[in-house]
Structures are given as structure tokens and as C-alpha cells.
Amino acid sequence: MDQPETFPQAVAALDTNDNFALGLAAAALNEAGIIFDVVDISDEPLSDVLKAANPKWWIPPCRIFVATEDANEARSLLDPLQQGPISDIEEQSGWEKSK
């Protein structure tokens, strides 16, 4: 008798509308061997954290999901991206662009 296919439970690891942050997140998760899925977020109200500093990097809001067993590792990898737009992270780290 065929058993129904089972899928792992998934949890959200990152919400973003910053294309650069999404690329960094995908690269970090791929390198760690963590399987993930990216889905669009509906038109629900979004916090200022999801607003990219530079409009050319904006994409429709999306959410990265990972399996529950990978959630802690994924969140630790993606934690710097949760702090806001990349430009904010650069300012916090003391890194400045050369002019």
C-alpha cells in the first residue's frame, strides 16, 4: 500500500524586499547546505525594516522558509540581514564606502 508523501515542516527565516539581502541569504543557505524556499508575501502592512535603502534594490516582499530542523542554523546565518537595509549594517560595522 502506498504511503502519502510527507514534507518537512517549514518556518520563516527571513522577510525582505532587498534584492541584495535576498542574494546574500540564498548564498549563505546554499553554502551551509540548507534547503530553502522563497515565497512572495501578500500585500500585508510591512515594517520599515523591509524597506531597502536604495530603491534600485527593491523587489516584491518575500519570505525565506527553511525546514524546522534547520531553523536555528539558518537564523544564525541570516541574523545580520534581519537588522535592516545593508547600508545600515555597513554604518553599524564602521565600514565606509571609498569616494
Angle at alpha carbon of residue 64, lines to 80 and 14, rounded to 5° = 30
**Which helix (H) or strand (E) is 61 found in, with range?**
strand 58-67
**Which residue type does 91 have?**
E
Is residue 99 one of the residues assigned to a domain? no
Distance CA 18, CA 56 (A): 9
- Say how many domains are in the chain: 1
Is residue 98 one of the residues assigned to a domain? no
Is residue 4 one of the residues assigned to a domain? no
Is residue 96 one of the residues assigned to a domain? no
Distance CA 69, CA 73 (A): 9
* DSSP annotation of 2: P
Q: What is the pTM of this model?
A: 0.66
Give the model's pLDDT for residue 13. 93
Residue in this structure with the C-alpha cell 508523501, named with its chain if needed? 5
CATH number at residue 34: 3.30.70.790
- pLDDT by residue for the chain (99 residues), tens digit each? 577 887 778 999 998 888 888 999 999 999 999 999 999 886 555 555 455 555 455 677 889 999 999 999 999 999 988 755 544 444 444 444 443
Residue range of the domain that includes 72: 10-91
